[in-house]
Structure 1
């Protein structure tokens, strides 16, 4: 029996080493995982986030199939937005070809299947180099590839998170780069470009973090300075090439984030027990609950034991990394918080959900499982009679874990709320008031939505309307006529007959990429406008964004440069490392020249509160009550506006006027306590001013108007005192001391700013607070 078992293990090793056999196995496993998703192909996901994110892909494919245009401008969302500059869109990924051919809703489960196969194959290549066993790598690959979060992402419309499955390819490419292989440069740059184009708001920065760690791990394992020096040259080339290869998407994103920075506040955290359930509890077949969202088969953890016992040295790195990732996933619940430290770095400050670090936790646990299998298999060659049964049992555990992962994947896939696609209606485009959580229905009617549900502050004009009889019109009705001739997403033609110089307005948001054949393109309070002269003329508006067109040119040059280096290498005339670095830096130089030589207006942010009021004011309004409280950080609460009582709907608008005079720690936020005469306390804590700035980012020596509201429906009638203070919301959560006031009462680090009265006629309802 031992001989037959030993032969079986040898056969498994040979099969694992054959790419065709391995891909067939991964394809079948992926097909089993996606079976339910594929059965629903063509339906519309009715989950709220799906309506928003899926509509981006629908809009992109509509631009391609209906109008024969690149999906540069998306007029159907948020009153019109730059598709390439929107972080969560994936309309410029190669996958848009499949979406255009078969339809975006039919393409999604096919793409899910492809990403699963890519994830398993990528992990195999990564693990085989790290553990030295094809069978060990094969046994653990589905543990990472079939992790629960990918299924959850599909079921709620977050298909862009499937990009996490490309993490092993980034690490494989990093290893090849350190070995001086140009194929590694192409792999790292290509994967990052794909992730960016696929809307990888989390996979890209997290991938960059683990590429940096893998770089350190690889350099540490090298012997001799010459090898490390060559590796550093290759890594420099990779950095230059990757930046340039991603320019087609990176430049628009930089432009957008400078105009409208994405702010993520709060102190999210996960306690140990809920975190463990997310990772190890088999998810239910229906519902949206945390248990099992990141499912990793508990039985697979048994495979880590032989790794820790028999290959301690090689197990150290993945074990430590799995622990650090789990610590990161705990967020602010851990003390000290590793996640809080990460959020102090650029880009990572936009991270909102620390539990997503359970994805790399699964990755390193799978590496430990592969190492455990490899360690047992290695023992079978030296002492078959003693170790063969243990290796067979470990393989059985791995295969049973595949079954558990498939079951969890299927359960999570069934969370999708699928309905029939709405019937399309061919009619001229127009904006509608819309609903951000049912946007998929509007697109079928060729209607744009000016109700925006994005996670970043899309620049939207306050003059957008959803009830116009004509989308293109003259600002002065008596100045002539305007009539639409042609409409496409990136190009609009209007016949204008102006009796005097005037402004043509288009019911879409302005962007500096809009150009006009006649007159000057301007922003009218964020609305797209054109100054037109007197007379009869045809105005042709075209969307030609500098960042998109110029970035695409830079990316094309980057790939051309890499192709030149690889061609030289194949002919046996490889350029020296300094020369290769020079070639890879040329596209970046072109990028700089384009940015300087191709001037374009800057879309400056217009920071506003949730009620639309400006975030900065020149002077205090007469209704503001002076407070003049100074804190133990360079922040002053200058005044407050507290109404005498709520409005007819039970809403109490509050305004705090702040001023900063120096650098403020990013952890500092605002707490608002509303206390009744009986001692009942409610609150409205918010670490971000007006939903826009942390104190650390706010302009100094400027009056900052922080407007928010409380819903007092269901509150006890009577008087309520409003007390305000500062606390370290992103740190140890301690309060900031009050140093002095202009006579205002101070209690427990809180400053009294006013009183309002809740009358008895406020409708009873569940109380709520809306910062």
Structure 2
């Protein structure tokens, strides 16, 4: 029996080495995982985030299929926005071809299947390299490829998070670069370009983080004096790869940089997860319905047994994945861990936009799967050497891996069933117009060819306050008495209007202005953020075209990068040795082109006007008369100038509060605001917030400017009577200590907070709940 088992293991090892057999297996596993998703293909996901994110893909494919245009401008969302510059869109990914052919809703489960196969195959290549065992890598690949978060992402409309499955390809490519292979450059640059184009707001920066760590790991292995030449070649190769990757991503990276420069995405707060909830997210089998944390990142717990042989018999090789899994779990704990590794990461550029630390459970699963692959490989290697002693252990380990596949499939199916699918709304062909809209039902508006001026984006889209959803015509003259304007042609990227002007006037289009709009007649202008064109007197056919600098220039740069890669590949085929300094020079050409285009092709910036949640301006010229002067200084260069505390809440129990701040010098990014509301009996409520007006950290706010920080409290259920409002500063993104309040003499105030006013909760406030709305 031992002999037959040993022979079976060897046959399985040979089969795992065959690409065709392996891909067939991964394809079947992915099909089983996607079976429920495929059965719902063509339906509309009614989850609120899906309405927003899926509508981007619908808008992009509509531009391609209905109008024959590239999806550069999206007029159906937020009153019109730059599609390439919106971080979460995936309309410039190669996947838009499939969406255009079969429809975006039918394409999604097919794309899910493709990503699952890619994820398993990528992990196989990575793990085989790490362990030397094809069968060990094959056994662990589905543990990562079928992780629960991918299923959850599809179920709630976050398909762009399937990009996490390409992480192993980035690490495989990095290793190939270190070894001096041009294929590694293509792999790293190509995967990053795909992830960016697919809306990878988390996979891209997290992928860059682990590529950096993998690079350090590889270079550490070349630290010996005999490795000096190889280390130098590796450094040249890494430099060339960095240049190529930046240039290859320019078609999407340039628009994103432009967007973030004009409207930075602010993510505040101190999110955290305790150990027990994290363990449940990772190891508890998810239920078939509901939106609860347990099981969202499911990794079959029995698979952890496969890591034990690795830790017992291959400690040196197990050290890196074990440490990385621990660090990722530490990161996933967010601010609940003391000290917080996640808080340190958020001090870095780009990572400051991370909101959910638990997403680091994805790389946690990845490195646990690597440990499982190593454990399988250790047992299989010992089996080849001592069949009589280790065969049964190897067979048992393979059985555990196979059982883990079944658990992963079960969890994937359960999470897929969380999707709230409904029938797609009927299409109605009618001329485009803006509507007031609803950000959580946007999918219905697109079917009616209506744009939504209710915006649900996670970044401040530059939107005009003059957008309207009740116009009889979307194109009109600023002065109605100055003539007439009639639409001739409308497409997403091109609008043609026939204008008869009795005097010079401004043609207005009911969409947001962007510097990428150009006109055949007159000058394109922003009218309170609305798209406008100055036209002279007379009859004109005004043709507006959307030709953004960053989109066109970025495409040129990316094209040059891929042309350079093709040139180096052609030279290699003709027998020329790859010289990395030459490659560095070739890939520097598109980077220089990018710099030249950026300096020579000037465009203004579409800035979002900073406003509080109640719509009020975020900056004011002076303290308003109704505000109480406070004039309090803190240990950091922040001054609380005044406060507005009403005498009592409104009829609904809502208490609007306003604090007026001023900064005079650089402020640590960790500094935030705390508000304590204390009753006469000592009961304390409050509202802590790390950003002023939901827009700026103190570190980013304009200096020597009066900042109006408006927020509100719900006093429903509070004890009737007088309540005092006390305000202070604390290190919300650091050690959470308070910032000292200073007396005029410079001495700190003992409690680190200042009294700003009193209000009274009347007895007639409905006492049904207590909540805080910062």
Superposition pairs of residues 230-629 of structure 1, within 5 angstroms: 230-629=233-632
What's the TM-score, normalizing by structure 2? 0.98
Check conservation: 1:627, 1:742, Cα contact below 8 A: no
Cα distance in 2 between the residues matched to 1:751 and 1:602: 40
Q: Partners in 2 of 1:2 and 1:759 — Cα distance?
A: 82
Query: Contact 1:160–1:198 at 8 Å: present in 2 too?
Result: yes
Render the CA deviation track for 1:558-600: whole Å, top value 9, x for unaligned: 0000100111011112353222111011001111111111111
* Matches of 1:669 and 1:615, distance apart in 2: 16
* C-alpha separation in 2, matches of 1:93 and 1:440: 21
- Which residue of structure 2 lines up, in the alignment, with residue 79 of structure 1? 79
- CA–CA separation in structure 2 for the residues paired with 1:527 and 1:86: 19
Aligned length: 771
Contact 2:306 2:397 in 1 (8 A): yes
Q: Higher mean Cα deviation, 69-78 or 701-710?
A: 701-710
Partner of 1:748, secondary structure, is coil
Partners of 2:461 and 2:608 within 8 A in 1: no
Aligned match for 1:673, one of 676, 685, 698: 676
Cα distance in structure 2, aligned partners of 1:676 and 1:452: 38
State whether structure 2 residue 750 is matched by structure 1 residue 751.
no
> Please, what is the CA RMSD of the aligned residues?
1.5
User: Which stretch of structure 1 is more off in the superposition, 528-537 or 546-555?
Assistant: 528-537
What is the match of residue 717 of structure 1?
720
Partner of 1:766: 769
Conserved? CA contact 2:268–2:691, under 8 Å: yes
Which residue of 678, 694, 697 corresponds with 2:697? 694
Aligned mates of 1:493, 1:677 — CA distance in 2 = 66
Q: Tell me if the contact between 1:628 and 1:741 (Cα under 8 Å) persists in the aligned partners.
A: no
Q: SS state of the match for residue 150, structure 2?
A: helix
Tell me the CA shift for residue 711 of structure 1. Answer: 2.7
The answer on 1:219 being equivalent to 2:222 is no
SS in structure 2 at match of 1:704:
strand
Query: For 1:126-137, what aligned pairs fall within 5 Å after superposition?
Result: 126-137=126-137
**SS where residue 606 of structure 1 aligns?**
coil
- Report the equivalent of 2:64: 64
Give 1:663 shift.
2.0
Deviations 1:159-189 (A, max 9, x none): 0000000000000000000000000000000
Q: What is the CA–CA distance in structure 2 between the aligned matches of 1:549 and 1:680, rounded to whole Å? A: 59
- Measure, in 2, the Cα distance between the counterparts of 1:530 and 1:408: 55
SS at match of 2:712: strand
Q: For 1:157 and 1:266, how far apart are their aligned partners in 2?
A: 24
CA apart distance, 1:741: 6.0
For residues 247 and 379 of structure 1, the distance between their equivalents in structure 2, rounded to whole angstroms, comes to 49
Residues 5-59 of structure 1 deviation map (CA, whole Å, 9 limit, x = unaligned): 1100110111000000000000000000000000000000000000000000000
- For residue 98 of structure 2, what is the aligned residue in structure 1? 98
> What is the CA–CA distance in structure 2 between the aligned matches of 1:741 and 1:623, rounded to whole Å?
24
Matches of 1:221 and 1:663 in 2, distance apart?
41
In structure 1, what is the Cα distance between the partners aligned to 2:722 and 2:435? Answer: 42
TM superposition shift of 1:735: 1.5
Alpha-carbon distance in 1 for matches of 2:384, 2:228: 36
Over 3 Å counting, the alpha-carbon distance change for 1:395 and 1:712 in structure 2 is same
**Partner Cα separation in structure 2 for residue 533 and residue 713 of structure 1:** 58
Determine helix, strand or coil for the equivalent of 1:269. coil
Secondary structure class of the residue paired with 1:25:
helix
Distance 1:597 1:54 in 2: 37
SS of structure 1 residue aligned to 2:428 = coil
Q: CA deviation at 1:747?
A: 7.2
Deviations 1:313-362 (A, max 9, x none): 10000000000000000000001000000000000000000000000000
Counterpart Cα distance in 1 of 2:379 and 2:532: 70
The answer to whether the Cα contact below 8 Å between 2:462 and 2:607 also exists between their aligned partners in 1 is no
Residues in 1 aligned to 2:516 and 2:283: alpha-carbon distance in whole angstroms: 49
Matched residues in 2 for 1:375 and 1:647: separation? 69
In 1: Cα distance, 2:594 partner to 2:119 partner: 33
Please report how far the alpha carbon of residue 652 of structure 1 lies from its aligned counterpart in structure 2 after TM superposition: 2.3
Distance in 1, Cα, partners of 2:562 & 2:76: 33
Name the SS of the counterpart of 2:739 in structure 1: coil
What's the secondary structure of 1:241's corresponding residue? helix
Picking from 660, 663, 670, the partner of 1:660 is 663
1:760, 1:535 → 2: CA distance? 67
1:757 and 1:186 map into 2 onto residues whose CA distance is 66
- Alignment match, 1:190: 190
1:736 corresponds to 2:739: yes
CA contact (8 A) 1:746 1:752 kept: no
Provide the C-alpha distance between the structure 2 equivalents of 1:210 and 1:231, rounded to a whole number of angstroms: 17
TM-score relative to the length of structure 1: 0.98
* CA-CA distance at 1:746 after TM superposition: 6.7
Q: Which moved more, 1:47-56 or 1:734-743?
A: 734-743
- Which residue in 1 is equivalent to 2:637? 634
Cα pair 2:679 2:724 within 8 Å, conserved? yes
C-alpha distance in 2 between matches for 1:146 and 1:667: 37
State how far apart, in whole Å, the 2-side matches of 1:735 and 1:557 are: 52
Distance of aligned partners of 1:81 and 1:742 in 2 relative to their CA distance in 1, 3 Å threshold: farther
